[in-house]
């Protein structure tokens, strides 16, 4: 069996070999933290040359909290008929878009629960109307499980639903709901969400019709390091398949630890038979570095400030991440289970990036660069670009 030092040395070669699941698991289990993170940073320099760290000015809209899936880690959803359930009107949603336009944003990430009372026409009417009222905002909406829910309600296929939404003006399908694409883990915490293959199939369909997609990963369900790498393998395989067909595939990979407050899942951490759940900074940074090394076919790795805080997000930039996420403006799903920070101003994201020694670069949902006014130019001079190893 290979030694972690030899594996890391191979990753520092000019043309590093593709990591196997076994090698990545050895790194996860055994590699020295500093050397692993350093190699992640060197790989970032190879795959995303230069010293820029991107960010997106966007907002979240959580249009409904009604959901029938009952994931154990979720504190956001309410069952149909619950007195705290809500579904926002188009006027309420449009007002949120206007707030984003006021600050020069370019994308809305709109996600909610699996609401059995909303037919497909409700979604297509919403998207069409938003497209007309807010033409400069990219609409990255829903997640594979919501698409499956809509397909169930309208007795159609997920592919047909995606096509209808795209024709109405939807720009992308974010990768929410992937959590852990290993069925032993996944079906334990979200039995109604269905197998990993469902998520992968819907994302595949979305990519086939040209929607912009991202891949996500939640860690800390009590899974092994090998499970975490196997999750990455499923995503890497789909990416290989679609890149070979000339399809763009996932723009990015975004991971964060499960939040354990206010939910059924977190209760497993308490009492006599408690098990160790969640993931701290040490694990999270290892995960960022491993993902940077493992994904030779996904260019962008995102740091998660909402769950880890700005300081750890800065460290993630030294583990291989090249993107600092987005302004969000509001977040109600993950935050319902524990995070407290749900928005960041553009100036705050820029300052976070600058103070880590990188250059802030505003982007859009497709990772294309947008004009960027550095708001702190006179306060903090940017250091010279990092030199490749
Ligand atoms: S995570 Fe999503 S699918 Fe699961 S219960 Fe919450 S809203 Fe529903």
CATH number of the domain at 70, please.
3.20.20.70
Neighbours of 374 (CB within 10 A): 17
pLDDT surpasses 60 at 384: no
Question: In the prediction, which pLDDT does 182 show?
Answer: 97
Q: pLDDT of 97-110, one tens digit each?
A: 999 999 999 999 99
State which of 75, 114, 147, 198 you would mutate to test the pocket of ligand 1, scoring each by most atoms of that ligand within 8 A of its C-beta.
114
For 35-76, the three-class secondary structure string (H helix, E strand, C coil) is HHHHHHHHHHHHHCCCCEEEEECEEEECCECECCCCCCCCCC
Half-sphere exposure of 312 (CA within 13 A, CB side): 18
Q: How far apart are CA 383 and CA 364, in angstroms?
A: 25
Position 389 in a domain? no
Position 370 in a domain? no
Alpha helices per DSSP H over 251-379: 281-294, 305-317, 346-355
Position 24 in a domain? yes
The winner for highest mean pLDDT among 174-188, 264-278, 372-386 is 174-188
Is 76's C-beta closer than 6 angstroms to any atom of ligand 1?
yes
Mention every residue, 6+ apart, whose C-beta is less than 8 A from residue 362. 54, 55, 56, 57, 346, 369, 370, 371, 372
pLDDT-derived band at 259, boundaries 50, 70, 90? confident
Position 386 in a domain? no
Ligand 1 centroid to 71 CA: how many Å?
5
Position 3 in a domain? no
Mean pLDDT, rounded, for 245-261: 93
Ligand 1 centroid to 144 CA: how many Å?
11
Question: In the prediction, which pLDDT does 387 show?
Answer: 57
Residue whose Cα lies nearest atom 4 of ligand 1: it is 71
| Structural domain boundaries, residue 281 | 19-363
State which of 69, 145, 331 you would mutate to test the pocket of ligand 1, scoring each by most atoms of that ligand within 8 A of its C-beta.
69
Residue 193 CA: nearest ligand 1 atom is 3
Rounded to the nearest angstrom, the gap between the alpha carbon of residue 261 and the centroid of all alpha carbons in its chain is 20
Q: Find out whether 288 and 319 touch, Cβ atoms under 8 Å.
A: yes
pLDDT surpasses 70 at 379: no
Ligand 1 centroid to 242 CA: how many Å?
28
Neighbours of 34 (CB within 10 A): 8
Q: pLDDT of 113-150, one tens digit each?
A: 999 999 999 999 999 999 999 999 999 999 999 999 99
If one counts the domains in the chain, the total is 1
Position 11 in a domain? no
Q: How far apart are CA 155 and CA 157, in angstroms?
A: 7
Q: How far apart are CA 238 and CA 100, in angstroms?
A: 33
**DSSP assignments along 185-244, one per residue:** HHHHH-GGG--HHHHHHHHHHHHHTT-EEEEEEEE-SS--HHHHHHHHHHHHHHHHHHHH
> DSSP assignment, residue 15?
S
Q: How far apart are CA 372 and CA 275, in angstroms?
A: 46
pLDDT surpasses 60 at 208: yes
pTM comes to 0.93
Position 56 in a domain? yes
């Amino acid at each position: 069996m290979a030694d972690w030092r030899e594996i890391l040395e191979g990753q520092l070669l000019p043309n590093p070999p593709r990591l196997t699941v076994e090698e990545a698991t050895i790194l996860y289990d055994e590699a020295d933290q500093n050397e692993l993170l350093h190699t992640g940073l060197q790989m970032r320099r190879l795959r995303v040359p230069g010293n820029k760290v991107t960010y997106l000015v966007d907002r979240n809209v959580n249009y409904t909290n009604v959901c029938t899936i009952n994931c154990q880690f979720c504190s956001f959803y309410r069952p149909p008929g619950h007195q705290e359930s809500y579904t926002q009107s188009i006027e309420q949603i449009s007002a949120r878009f206007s707030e984003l336009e006021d600050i020069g944003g370019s994308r809305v990430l709109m996600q909610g629960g699996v609401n059995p009372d909303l037919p497909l026409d409700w979604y297509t009417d919403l998207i069409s109307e938003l497209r007309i009222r807010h033409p400069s905002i990219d609409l990255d909406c829903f997640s594979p499980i919501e698409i499956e829910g809509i397909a169930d309600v309208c007795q159609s296929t997920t592919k047909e639903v995606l096509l209808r939404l795209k024709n109405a003006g939807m720009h992308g399908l974010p990768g929410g709901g992937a959590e852990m694409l290993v069925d032993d883990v996944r079906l334990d915490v979200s039995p109604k969400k269905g197998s990993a293959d469902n998520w992968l199939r819907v994302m595949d369909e979305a990519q086939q019709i040209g929607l912009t997609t991202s891949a996500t990963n939640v860690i800390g369900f009590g899974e092994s390091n090998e499970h975490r790498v196997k999750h990455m393998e499923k995503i890497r395989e789909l990416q290989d398949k679609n890149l070979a067909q000339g399809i763009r595939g996932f723009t990015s990979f975004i991971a964060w630890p499960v939040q354990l407050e206010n939910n059924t899942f977190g209760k497993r951490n308490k009492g006599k038979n408690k098990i160790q759940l969640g993931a701290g900074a040490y694990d999270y940074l290892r995960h960022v570095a491993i993902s940077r090394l493992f994904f030779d076919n996904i260019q962008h790795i995102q740091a998660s400030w909402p769950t880890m805080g700005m300081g750890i997000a800065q460290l993630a930039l030294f583990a291989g991440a090249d993107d600092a996420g987005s302004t969000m403006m509001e977040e109600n799903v993950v935050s319902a289970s524990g995070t407290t920070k749900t928005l960041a101003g553009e100036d705050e994201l820029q300052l976070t990036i600058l103070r880590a020694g990188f250059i802030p670069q505003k982007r859009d949902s497709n990772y294309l660069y947008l004009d960027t006014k550095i708001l702190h130019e006179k306060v903090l001079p940017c250091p010279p670009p990092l030199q490749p190893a």
